[in-house]
Each structure stands twice: as structure tokens, then as C-alpha cells.
């Protein structure tokens, strides 16, 4: 989108030294102070988002290389199920007219996808595990990683709308603000 006000910038890939090794300072999260904990998580998600995307991709790829057929089948079933849910709950006039014009075909399609879901539940669970494991690791890292000066400056630029990143847009859509989270 050239010239739009919705230009996204991908946050730079942080060095392994900054992300995990040498200068990384890790500490148990402050469970008794929800505001500090939520600020730490949100700010780390903003600052290390590219590293987290790469981590998700690598873990999904490694698990997929272990059992490629199950990952492919599970991902296909997951996408078909999400598409089926979107189709059945859609209020788009074009989709509603297709459902009214061809109700038997719509019913057969939905039942077939649900049958495929039940038959390949094991592959679907394996795929969901391959997606959930990196998310757990990301949450643990974002909870335990202390912020440094570069992290704070980058997050300030994001809050001032100097740069827009994918996670920043997601936080805006969810109504999350790093400093205002958990405040009354």
C-alpha cells in the first residue's frame, strides 16, 4: 500500500546476544504486581516481535520435519475448519445467498469438513501442539526478560506512532496499551 497511512514496518531482528545470551538479563516475573508483569510482557512482545516470529517459524518447521504428513493434514484440517466456521457464521449477502440457493451443497460441505475433522483429530492436535509450544516459549521469554534501554526507546517510538509494527497494530485492535494495561 504505497502512500497509505497504514504502512507497517517490521521490527529489526535482534541479535542472539541481545535476545537470549550475553546482555540478556532474565528474572522471575513479578507475579504480585500485575501492572509491571503486563508491561514487561507487552513491551517485550513489541521489541522482540521479529525474533518471536522467527522462533515460531523454526519450531513449527522442526516439528513439521519430524512428522510432515501430520502437520500438512492437521494444518489443512485446521484451515478448512476455520473456513467452515467463517462460512456458516458469515452475514455477507453474497455468502447468505449461496447458502439459501444451494442449501444441500452447503450442508454436504459442512458435514464433510466436520467428518474430516473427526477422522484426523490426531493430526489436528499435533498441529495445534506445534503452534502452542512456541507460543508458550514466547510467553515465558517475554515474562522473564528484563527490558534494556534500547527496548524502552523502541517502545516509546511505537507508542508515539512514529513507527507501526504488526504486533503494535494487533495491540491497537485489542485495545492494549503497555502503560495503561491493568490500571483502573
Specify the pLDDT at position 184. 34
Specify the pLDDT at position 74. 94
pLDDT tens, residue by residue, 112-153:
999 999 999 999 999 999 999 999 999 998 888 876 666 666
- Average pLDDT score over residue span 169-176: 73
> With contact defined as beta carbons under 8 Å apart, do 124 and 74 qualify?
yes
3-state helix, strand, coil in the chain (%, to 5): 70, 0, 30
Contacts of 123 (CB under 8 A, 6+ apart): 69, 70, 71, 73, 74, 77
> Is the pTM value of this prediction over 0.85?
no
Predicted confidence band of residue 156 (pLDDT cuts 50, 70, 90): low
Q: Which of 160, 161, 155 has its CA nearest to residue 39?
A: 155
Specify the pLDDT at position 181. 40
* Predicted confidence (pLDDT) at residue 104 exceeds the cutoff of 50: yes
pLDDT tens, residue by residue, 4-55:
556 777 777 777 777 777 666 777 877 888 888 888 888 788 878 888 999 9
| CA–CA distance, 61 with 64 (Å, rounded to integer) | 5
Predicted confidence band of residue 69 (pLDDT cuts 50, 70, 90): very high
Q: Where are the domains of the chain?
A: 34-174
Amino acid at each position: 500500500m504505497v502512500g497509505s497511512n497504514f504502512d507497517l514496518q517490521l521490527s529489526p531482528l535482534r541479535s542472539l546476544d541481545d535476545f537470549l545470551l550475553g546482555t540478556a538479563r532474565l528474572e522471575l516475573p513479578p507475579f504480585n504486581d500485575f501492572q509491571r508483569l503486563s508491561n514487561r510482557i507487552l513491551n517485550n512482545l513489541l521489541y522482540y516481535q521479529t525474533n518471536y516470529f522467527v522462533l515460531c517459524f523454526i519450531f513449527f518447521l522442526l516439528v513439521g520435519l519430524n512428522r510432515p504428513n501430520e502437520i500438512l493434514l492437521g494444518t489443512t484440517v485446521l484451515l478448512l475448519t476455520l473456513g467452515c466456521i467463517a462460512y456458516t457464521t458469515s452475514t455477507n449477502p453474497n455468502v447468505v445467498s449461496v447458502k439459501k440457493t444451494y442449501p444441500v451443497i452447503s450442508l454436504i460441505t459442512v458435514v464433510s469438513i466436520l467428518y474430516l475433522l473427526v477422522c484426523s483429530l490426531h493430526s489436528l492436535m499435533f498441529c495445534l501442539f506445534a503452534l502452542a509450544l512456541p507460543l508458550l516459549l514466547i510467553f515465558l521469554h517475554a515474562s522473564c526478560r528484563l527490558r534494556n534501554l534500547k527496548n524502552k526507546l523502541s517502545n516509546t517510538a511505537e507508542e508515539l506512532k512514529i513507527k507501526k509494527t504488526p504486533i503494535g497494530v494487533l495491540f491497537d485492535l485489542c485495545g492494549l496499551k503497555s502503560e495503561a494495561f491493568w490500571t483502573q
